[in-house]
Amino acid sequence: MKKQNIKKPIIKKFSCTVLFLFLSYNFVSAQETNYVYDGIKTAEKKKNQLLKAINSFAASKNDKDYFALQIKSITYSFSNHLEKLVSQVDNYRAEKKKKTYYKDIESHITAIKSNLEVVHRKVSSIRENAGRAEQIIKNTNKSTYAVHSEMVSDYKILSKKLESAKLQLFEIIKLESVNLVEKQNDKIREQIENQKKRIAEQEEYEKKRKELEKQKIDYVDGPSFSDKTYKAVRIGKQIWMATNLDIDHFKNGDKIPYAKSKEEWKQAATTNKPAWCYYNFNPKNEHLGKFYNGYVLTDPRGIAPDGWKIPSVYDWRELSEHMEKAYGEGKYLEKLKSIRNWNNYKLKNNHIPKNGTNETGFNAIPSSVIRLEEKDYLGLGYAFWWSQTKYESKNAYYISTINYLTSEKLHYATPFGFYNGLNIRLLKE
């Protein structure tokens, strides 16, 4: 079957749209407007999940039934959300009828509801086609090209209608905001100008990010396991994995126990047993990779394949020293960091980290660490990796980290106990 990847629509830039969004959160007192906007943003996230599943269905050769089931699951959730969102729009209309400017926004509310109803029908149609695909795969050897094409067509329509609903809401926000801004004092007008400046900076960042996404990274072959092969990058004289390790077995194939809860994690620490988990013990955080306790490193079965190793503290120091020499002290960290998501988090010192440029291809993502005690909890916005260098005679290893002690460079001389959960990067021997 010919693969039909759906491209995400490119939204034309116009400064008034982002300004309206700012006004909706800061100046428009009607809370119901924000509820509808949040509902549309959630719908967009589900739309993106659906896009990924449809494209995966098209690309798959042997797992089409799995991705068809995934499409059905996403569309069920999507439909339920849309039903609630349409109900929210009805409540929104009822509240806005009390406003003196209701007649100015009535047509926009009607358009929002109409667009969302079309989105709901198209989501249902995609679910039906996913069901048809399951039957074709199960009972015949026929191609699923036709049903996939229908899903693509429905997706394009729902994507356009969802964007239209959002733009109609922006028009309402504009009308409400103009009425309110006229009554604001000089201080609020100054806040608007400051926000315009931040928006301009964000637009400039988005432009830069798109350029960075096009940069060519010279990847090399990374560590290979029975179920996956990783990419790697050469940095100085070293060759590093380009992502966090994400396997659940030792070198000999034995499974590493999966701790599904904090209690199971504590039990592994108490009994000195190896374990891995997801951040916050939630599988939805699998994009961060797996977090391994220190007993995984001490286990004689080993986790690194032939030719690769868990780096020592001296290996981390070599990476840091190379980056300092190549880019300057305090200036190299962004070259190691991913281009997305770092600025979504606020650190414990209230500092908001900058996104990176990932010019090295190391692609350090904003992650965290698993701690035993609630008082030691740390949110996202950091990066932690194990080293294989033991700290004196205690049950602890040195670790490497970003943003934990300093946001200026890669820190590599902090000891962490085996009971902590950290990510792992492998290094070519």
Q: List pLDDT tens digits, range 57-103.
A: 999 888 888 999 999 999 999 999 999 999 999 998 998 888 878 88
Report the pLDDT value the prediction gives residue 14, as an integer from 0 to 100: 41
Q: Residue 278 pLDDT > 90, yes or no?
A: yes
Q: Read off the pLDDT of each residue in 371-391 and give the average, rounded to a whole number.
A: 84
Between CA 107 and CA 109 the distance in angstroms is 5
Please classify residue 311 by burial: count the beta carbons closer than 10 Å to its beta carbon, then call 0-12 exposed, 13-18 middle and 19+ buried. Answer: buried
| Rounded alpha-carbon distances, angstroms, from residue 153 to 7, 74, 123, 342, 383 | 12, 17, 11, 35, 41
CATH topology for 15-183 is A middle domain of Talin 1 (1.20.1420)
Long-range residue pairs from 382-385, CB within 8 A, at least 24 positions apart, any chain: 382/347, 383/337, 383/423, 384/416, 384/422, 384/423, 385/244, 385/311, 385/316, 385/422, 385/423, 385/424, 385/425
Q: What is the DSSP string of 341-382?
A: SGGG---TTS--PPP---TTS--B--B--B-SSGGG---SSB
Query: Two tokens at 310?
Result: 């868990």
Bridge partner residues of 233 (DSSP): 219, 240
Residue 160's pLDDT band (cuts 50, 70, 90):
very high
The predicted model gives 6-12 an average pLDDT of 44
- Copy the structure tokens of residue 377: 């909890």
Distance CA 43, CA 181 (A): 29
> How far is Cα 154 from Cα 124, in angstroms, rounded to an integer?
9
Question: What mean pLDDT value characterizes the chain?
Answer: 84
Beta-strand pair 219-224/229-235: antiparallel
Q: Positive or negative, the Cα torsion across 31, 33, 34, 40?
A: positive
In the prediction, which pLDDT does 26 show?
A: 44
Name the token pair of 180.
Answer: 């309110």
| Per-domain boundaries in the chain | 15-183, 185-214, 219-428
The predicted-structure confidence for 231-261, as pLDDT tens digits, reads as follows: 999 999 999 999 999 999 999 999 999 999 9
Distant-in-sequence, close-in-space partners of 179: CB < 8 Å, separation ≥ 6: 101
∠ CA 104-109-114, nearest 5°, is: 140
Average pLDDT estimate for 115-143: 90
Handedness of CA 131, 135, 136, 141 (dihedral sign): positive
Q: Answer yes or no: is pLDDT of 158 > 80.
A: yes
Q: How far apart are CA 110 and CA 171, in angstroms?
A: 13
pLDDT in tens, 163-201: 999 999 988 888 877 666 665 656 676 777 778 877 776
Kindly tell me if the per-residue pLDDT of 144 is higher than 60: yes
pLDDT at 343: 83
